Structure 1
Amino acid sequence: MVDNIFKTAMRWALIFAAACLLLWVIMPEWKSVCAGLLLGVFASFLNALMLRRRVEIVGQAAGGNRRMGMGLGSRIAMVLLVAMVAYKNPETFNLPATLAASMVMPFFTLVSAFLHHKRH
């Protein structure tokens, strides 16, 4: 069940990224906004993968074998990295679009979970 929710959220993120690419091609004046959205979605996608892995590690640690990792620090570092890239290249990436899109996966996951639980 959790896998289905996560896969649906990832699918929505890929559809969002494809829509950004399409807008990039169709509307050249919005190129920096679309590039910022793509960069942010990429960071959000990677953060979701890291969080999923972290949840698996914590689930396995419940049995007694505890492994420590960076967790929140690595996810914050990912957002800071894309923010620095967007800040250093304002002609290529729109910083507000990058920051907004870097937080999109939790919303996709929340909506996906809500729709999944409503169906079942």
Structure 2
Amino acid sequence: MDNIFKSAMRGALFFAAACLLLWGIVPEWKSVCAGLLLGAFASFMNALLLRRRVEIVGQAMANRGMRKMGLGLGSRIAMVLCVAMVAYKYPETFNLPATLAASMVMPFILLVSAFLHHKRH
């Protein structure tokens, strides 16, 4: 799973680099690119939170211990709401639809990364 996650993080960094490149090349799309970067950051953080949660549950099941309760889904939803509020408050800087679309990009990158990893092996 670590190899899949590392390659997905590389893909997310390429996505962010492409957004920065577009930001520099096409000045009319600055707010869209800034929204994409903000949403990609939230998606990246959500992936890290989900990875941590999966590791905790896996360790608890391996040790046959009690499952640790937490705010797994709540914290990930709060992250997306936080970036949506930032994009809503500063519409001249961040494009709200681009922010919301990019906040869901990491699961698709993970899916493609897992598919390519399993196709190789």
- State the identity as a percent: 85
TM-score for the superposition, normalised by structure 1: 0.97
Aligned to 1:47: 46
Aligned to 1:24: 23
SS in 1 for 2:29: helix
Aligned to 1:36: 35
Aligned to 1:12: 11
Q: 2:74 corresponds to which letter in structure 1? A: G
Aligned to 2:99: 98
For structure 2, the 5+ residue unaligned runs are none
Q: 2:76 corresponds to which letter in structure 1? A: R
1:33-84: CA deviation from partner (whole Å, max 9, x where unpaired) = 0000000000000000000000001011112143221100000000000000
CA distance in 2, matches of 1:107, 1:68: 27
Give the Å deviation of 1:86. Answer: 0.4
CA distance in 1, matches of 2:14, 2:3: 16
In the comparison of the two structures, how many residue pairs are matched?
Answer: 119
TM-score for the superposition, normalised by structure 2: 0.96
RMSD across aligned C-alpha pairs, in angstroms? 0.7
For structure 1, the 5+ residue unaligned runs are none
SS in 1 for 2:13: helix
